[in-house]
Structure 1
Amino acid sequence: MSKKMSIAALVLYVVYAVGMYFYIFHGPSGGVPATLKGTVADPETFMTERELYLSDDYSKIRNFLFFVITPFEWLVYLLILLTGISRIFEKWAETKWKLFKNGAYLFLLYLFTALIFYPIDIYRYQLSKEYGISTQDFSSWMRDYVIDFWVNFGTTLLLVLVLYWLIQKSAKKWWLYAWLLTIPFAIFMMYLQPVVIDPLYNEFTPLKDKQLEEKILKLANQADIPSEHVFEVNMSEKTNALNAYVTGIGDNSRIVLWDTTLNELTDEEILFIMAHEMGHYVEKHIYVGIASYLLSILVGLWLISKIMPWMVARFGKFLNIEKVGDIRSLPLFFVLVSFLLFISNPLSNYISRYQETRADEYAMELTGDAEAAVSTFQNLAKAGLSEVNPPWLVKIFRYTHPPMLERINTIARYTDNEEVETEKGNETE
């Protein structure tokens, strides 16, 4: 039966992958609406013919990889269970101390899956190099890859050890206790991120352009945002993409600009980006994000607490799982977490796109510079070879930000409304 289930899972995955291939590469593309042809939102007005070709090609490949890699992850974990590999890992990790056993099992599982996914990670790195997005040499990429492995393993180890201890202590309420512990852990990690984790990958220094820093801090003061320093990070050694962000909470919060952004954009464009990030602060999106994250974790853990025992009772014999508290059930837990995150993407992305739109509108209110806003979005699209108007399925599952077509239209609508208000004011006078 386990063999039949493995074959069925493989066939189902292949059928799904073929379907996604035809949807991505031969299905309807977003394109540019006829009413926007020739406008500032039309990529043909700001991209070269080669950039248009590369953007289309690169976007399709990345979209296809997104839709097939996550289900491939589920397939790998299911095959680890169905073929008995999980049980073998448990035997290899056997010790009289439960915590050491669970930790050793996780390491074997983590290393095994890392080796399976390594060729895919290499391909994605080479793809980014081929299309001119990545500038990172292989040794630097490999260094980041190893750091990623150990940072993620260390974090996962802590979570798994606590989780399975809770499951063994309280089979019915473990999900609630786990969620309660998630709250301080998540806040602690957000506090730690900018000062401990981020510097492992890149060097952060105070912004060297003091005149620009003064302009940014003046803008922050207009928005009533307490901020004393702006940081820049050396990303040009790794990428040609542009970015800026606000990270951390409390005393560890900081404004960060990639040096690629500093090198490629004008001061006006950078100020628009900074005003956008300040919009997130003013609109309190970080707190909404924390609340949404904690709520989703609560719902997810509760669902897993219901689904996992049912699956073990129904299919445990074929999955080589005797009870939920066995560490060999961990691949099933990972599958459920990944699946729930995947199907929740449309909702979480919708909320994120709404917040990004609000931040764009706030940036326009703060700067009033529509020309800089439009050119910023155009430059971001060119640097990242972004798809300005992706297909619907791609948009709802992948896009945390509105597509560039929508963002430029937001600016156009804003300026149109401003003109209407000005005309009304003139008529009243």
Structure 2
Amino acid sequence: MRRIVNITILLYVLFGVSMYIYFFTGSDIGIPVEYKGTSADPTTFMNARELVLSEEYSSVKNFLFFLGTPFEWIVLFLFMVLGVSSKFEQWAKAITSKRFVQFFIYFFYFSISMFLLIFPFRFVSYQLSKAYHISVQSFSSWMKDMTIDFWVNFIMMFVAMHVLLLLMKKSKRRWWIYAWCMTVPLTLFLTFVQPVLLDPLYHEFRPLQNKQLEERILEMAEKADIPANHVYEVNMSEKTTALNAYVTGIGSNSRIVLWDTTLEKLGENEVLFIMAHEMAHYVKKHIYWGIGLGLGVSLVGFFVVYKLVSFIQRRFGKMMRVEGKGSFAVIPLLLLLFSLFSFVISPFTNYVSRYEERQADTYAIEMTKDNESAVKAFQTLAKTGLNEVDPPMLVKIFRHTHPAIVERILFLESYDGKIDR
């Protein structure tokens, strides 16, 4: 066991060193030579200090992501092989004989332990964004968000994992398909209630205060056959200087949302382009396509996890202490496998997302016919968020759900309605 732990830690250290070399010495984040001097060249809209800060911030941020993700996998693995998960189960069963309460106690021990072990990565990320003036959020406000996030995730994951264990106990061969069937209504429900129940836990929403701008946006919505009565703005200036806008919810709970920082730092025509982009997601039914893709991917995921759990319990169950039928200690294994599957499949899901974003950009430029404002919007987005204009390939593949800013700017600047979609 000691050898397994030592090898795991050694591999993680070697991986961390390779990622450090990749992001800080091995990857060139500069744009291709042929784009130098164009509107996509950051030297044309960032000063020298902003260019340096953007390079530093992006490199550290990406490094933390690729360091933090496998760290979570290792923690889950060690929880199994070192018997931590089994010990939590023993403690829970020593307190009460009621299985539901036992699992609640076990899952609380497990969740709070995971939260505390991963907390340093989150804290460093918070401090990083503060140091580079992306975040202006106080530590107390940030901790409030972390606490809310913990309890929201705990409640949802507790219910999901409890039901999953019951299904695994009742049906050894078909639990994965029953579990997937239950995710269908749950996914639709959560997507429907997110704008009115979950999002307000973190942010303050209100109808757009600039009524003249709202009227222009609603005119665009009417032309696009979008049944919208309000555009919402969210108070993000007390937390960040970055810009964002998004569409969320389904059915009558659909909302188009602008951060107040976006309203402060973009001109009206640039905001209109952003709004047209968000309307495109509604018009193109990207939310519904996203739900469908998510459910399809999750079906494959449940099947893959089912096969791997069966194999691991059969071959390595004793060593990893996950051999017992219905044992709570299998939870880290399930979460580890689902997380690994999600990471492995992310290049595909990110590619689909980037395709939809290109569709939305095309729709927006066709609606506004304002190439200059579209380009200016993305230049400001990169400048204020210290975003890398042309990130390294690993980042594009595993992190980016949107096309690189260099690609978006060049596309929008040259778009004349004749480019093949």
The TM tier, using the shorter chain, reads over 0.9
Q: What is the deviation of 1:276?
A: 0.4
**Mapping of 1:320-339 within 5 angstroms?**
320-323=321-324, 325-339=326-340
Partner of 1:427: none
Aligned to 1:119: 120
Say whether the 8 Å CA contact 1:276–1:360 is kept in structure 2. yes
CA deviation vs aligned residue, 1:32-78 (integer Å, no higher than 9, x gap): 11211111010000001111001000000011111111111010111
Written as runs of structure 1 = structure 2, the 5 A alignment for 1:253-268 is 253-268=254-269
Aligned residue number for residue 72 of structure 1: 71
Contact kept, 8 Å, 2:192 with 2:250, in 1: the verdict is yes
Query: In structure 2, what residue type is equivalent to 1:15?
Result: L
> Which amino acid in structure 2 is aligned with residue 19 of structure 1?
S
Once the two structures are superposed, residues 20-43 of structure 1 have per-residue CA deviations (whole angstroms, 9 ceiling, x without a partner) of 111111113142112111110100
- Name the structure 1 match of 2:215: 214
Do the aligned residues in 2 keep the contact of 1:308 with 1:324 (CA within 8 Å)? no
The residue aligned with 1:346 is 347
- Separation (CA, whole Å) in 1 of partners of 2:36 and 2:120: 41
DSSP-derived class of the 2:226 partner: coil
C-alpha contact 1:357 1:410 (8 A) present in aligned 2:
no
Q: Deviations over 1:157-198 (max 9, x none)?
A: 110111101111111100101010100001100111110111
- Distance across 1 between alignment mates of 2:27 and 2:114: 35
The separation in 2 between residues aligned to 1:28 and 1:147, in whole angstroms, is 37
**Amino acid of the structure 2 residue aligned with 1:87:** S
C-alpha separation between the residues in 1 aligned to 2:301 and 2:31? Answer: 38
2:4 paired residue number: 5
Deviation at 1:417, TM superposition (A): 4.0
| Residue ranges of structure 2 left out of the alignment (5+ in a row) | none
Give the Cα separation in 2 of the matches to 1:256 and 1:198. 11
Which one-letter code corresponds to 1:224 in the other structure? D
Match of 2:47 in 1: 48
| TM score, norm. by length of structure 2 | 0.97
Opposite residue 189 of structure 1, the aligned amino acid is: L
Corresponding residue SS for 1:232: strand
The size of the alignment, in residue pairs, is: 417
CA distance in 1 between partners of 2:69 and 2:325 (Å): 23
Alignment of 1:283-298 (within 5 A): 283-298=284-299
- Asked whether the 8 Å contact 2:39–2:410 carries over to 1, the reply is no
- 2:136–2:240: 8 Å Cα contact kept in structure 1? yes
Aligned residue for 1:5, secondary structure, equals helix
RMSD: 1.1
The correspondence of residues 5-404 of structure 1 with structure 2, limited to 5 A, is 5-94=4-93, 95-323=96-324, 325-404=326-405
Which secondary structure state, in structure 1, belongs to the residue aligned with residue 100 of structure 2? Answer: helix
Letter in 2 for 1:235: M
**C-alpha deviation, 1:101, in angstroms:** 1.4
Distance in 1 between residues matched to 2:379 and 2:413, nearest whole Å: 14
C-alpha distance after superposition, 1:353-384 (max 9, x if no partner): 11101100110000000000000000000111
CA contact (8 A) 2:372 2:413 kept: no
Deviation at 1:224, TM superposition (A): 1.1
Shift, 1:206, TM fit:
1.1
User: 1:415 Cα shift?
Assistant: 3.2
Q: CA deviation at 1:282?
A: 1.3
CA displacement at 1:91 relative to structure 2: 0.6
1:97 is displaced (CA, Å) by 1.8
Q: Is the 8 A contact 2:64 2:121 kept in 1?
A: no
1:98 positional shift: 1.7
1:85 maps to a residue whose letter is V
1:267 Cα shift? 0.8
Distance 1:217 1:241 in 2: 25
1:256 partner letter: V
What TM-score do you get using the length of structure 1 for normalisation? 0.95
**4+ runs deviating over 4 angstroms:** none
Secondary structure of residue in 2 paired with 1:257:
strand
Q: In structure 1, what is the Cα distance between the partners aligned to 2:199 and 2:284?
A: 25
State the SS of the aligned residue for 2:415: helix
Shift of 1:106: 0.9
Q: Is the 8 A contact 1:309 1:324 kept in 2?
A: no
Per-residue CA deviations over 1:267-296 (Å, capped at 9, x if unaligned) read 100000000011111111111100000011
Q: Provide the residue aligned with 1:422 in structure 2.
A: none
Alignment partners' CA distance in 1, 2:352 and 2:33: 28
Q: CA deviation at 1:413?
A: 3.3
Q: Distance in 2 between matches of 1:22 and 1:158?
A: 42
**Amino acid corresponding to residue 13 of structure 1 in structure 2:** Y
Q: How far is the alpha carbon of 1:416 from its aligned partner?
A: 8.0
Q: Is the 8 A contact 2:233 2:258 kept in 1?
A: yes
Q: Against the structure 1 CA distance between its residues 216 and 416, is the aligned structure 2 distance closer, same or farther, given a 3 Å change threshold?
A: closer
CA contact (8 A) 1:30 1:392 kept: no
8 Å Cα contact 1:242/1:260 also seen in 2: yes
Residue aligned with 1:255, SS: strand
Residue 412 of structure 1 deviates from its aligned partner by 2.7
* 1:106 partner letter: F
Q: 2: distance between equivalents of 1:329 and 1:105?
A: 12
Specify every segment of 5 or more residues in structure 1 that has no aligned partner in the other structure, as ranges: 419-429
Show the counterpart of 1:426: none
